[in-house]
Amino acid sequence: MDILVCLKQTFDTEEKIVIEDGQISEDGVEFVINPYDEYAVEEAIRLRDEHGGEVTVITVGPERAEQALRTAMAMGADKGIIVDDEDLENADEYSIAKVLAAVINDLDYDLILGGYMAIDDGSAQVGPRLAELLEIPHISTITKVTVDGDRVEVEKDVEGDVEYIQSKLPILLTAQQGLNDPRYPSLPGIMKAKKKPMERLDLDDLDLDEDELEGKTETLEISLPPEKEAGKILEGELEEQTKELVQLLKNEAKVI
């Protein structure tokens, strides 16, 4: 079984976000594999070990994103592909899906996995967009997957409940928390990852027109959320507290 995993390198979840000149500063920031993509990598390795085949990890990003692929290969993935995003101006989920589709159209695959969203933008769009471009079915937010021949059975998280779905390969699945417990790269795995094949591509290699990859959305402003104000403790009789609460919700919070 040939499995592809689309992943993204994101800020470490423990990093403090700093805004400088209207942009998020990357100075001194530690980058990691997007946590939801880690579930996808782990599941791909488990399925490969069970059914045979290869796991290829793919990313679109700057040169530093190669480290995310090396980490995935240290976990057990077989090879990596990185597409340089230097020529992608104003790229968004539309742009990234187009680039990934161009890469994947030249590959053999039975299954594509990815995280259901990236923690930096939270759009959850790349997976569904990619499946549409490849003209294959997709199921999002899966918490369990079983492959039997060309048949796939998944459990899908639906806001606290579970939906059971059957489909056929090839298919694109996006991982939700709870699918598995991603392994840590071992020292032997890290050493082996250094020797595993890494293919580097740019837009010219994919015969893509930069103008056709122009994002469909535009970021107008980036700002941190306002600091939370101290809470208020209402005192007095219950009826008085209720009246005061209503006034606060109406005049200060402006939610009613």
Query: Please, what are the domains in the chain?
Result: 2-213 (3.40.50.620), 226-256 (no CATH)
The pTM of the full predicted model, rounded to 2 decimals, is 0.86
pLDDT for 118-127, tens place per residue?
998 888 999 9
User: Over the stretch 223-254, which tens digit does the pLDDT of each residue have?
Assistant: 888 888 778 888 888 998 999 999 988 888 88
Mind spelling out the 3-state secondary structure of 20-83? ECCEECCCCCCEEECHHHHHHHHHHHHHHHHHCCEEEEEEEECHHHHHHHHHHHHHCCCEEEEE
pLDDT tens for each residue of 8-20: 999 888 888 888 8
Q: What integer is the mean pLDDT of 175-188?
A: 95
The DSSP letter of residue 175 is E
Spatial contact of 115 and 133, defined as CB atoms under 8 Å apart: no
Report the C-alpha gap between 115 and 180 in whole angstroms. 12
For residue 198, the cross-strand partners are: 80
Higher-confidence residue: 213 or 49? Answer: 49
Confidence tier at 33 by pLDDT (50, 70, 90) = very high
pLDDT in tens, 78-112: 999 999 988 887 889 999 999 999 999 999 999 99
* Mean pLDDT, the chain, whole residue set: 92
pLDDT given at position 207: 86
What is the structure's pLDDT at 234? 87
pLDDT range class, residue 58, cuts 50, 70, 90: very high
**The pLDDT of residue 221 is above 80:** yes
